[in-house]
Amino acid sequence: MASAEAGTRHVFVRDLVLSARIGAYEHEKAAPQRIRLNLDLAVREAAADLGDRLENVVCYDSVLGRVREIVQAGHVNLVETLAERIAAVCLEDSRVRRAQVRVEKLDVFQEAESVGVTIERLNPFG
C-alpha cells in the first residue's frame, strides 16, 4: 500500500484482539466473543514536511479509538457489517485513499484458527 509513485504511506494495525458482541446465531447473542482485526490504510502523503507533529498524520491511536467505539456500540450479526462500519470510519479522513479491513472470529470452529472476512474500500474523495 505504500507507494512512492502514488504518493501514499501505509498505516496499519496488526492482530488487534477485542471482545465483541457479534454473530447471527442465537448462541452467539448470549455472550461476547473474541475477534481479531487487521487494518491497512493507504494514506496520501502530505505536500509539506510533517514537522514531526501528530496532527499532520493519520494517527493509528485515533483510528483504534474509533474502532473500539464501533465494536462496543452493540451487537452486530455479521462480520461483514462490522468490517463495513470500520472501513467507513477510516475513510472519514480524506487523507485515507484506501482501507482494507479484516475481521476474524477466533472461537467459532475448533478445527480452524479463525473465520471472517476481508474487505477493501476506496475513498471517493481521496
Instruction: Tell me which residues are annotated as active site.
Output: 105
With CA atoms as reference, report the closest residue to 99 among 63, 69, 70. 63
| CA count, 13 A, side-chain hemisphere, 74 | 0
Asked if 79 and 103 touch (Cβ cutoff 8 Å), the reply is yes
Q: Order of strands across the sheet with 8-20?
A: 8-20, 33-44, 96-105, 115-122
**Residue 14 and residue 126: Cα distance in Å, rounded?**
23
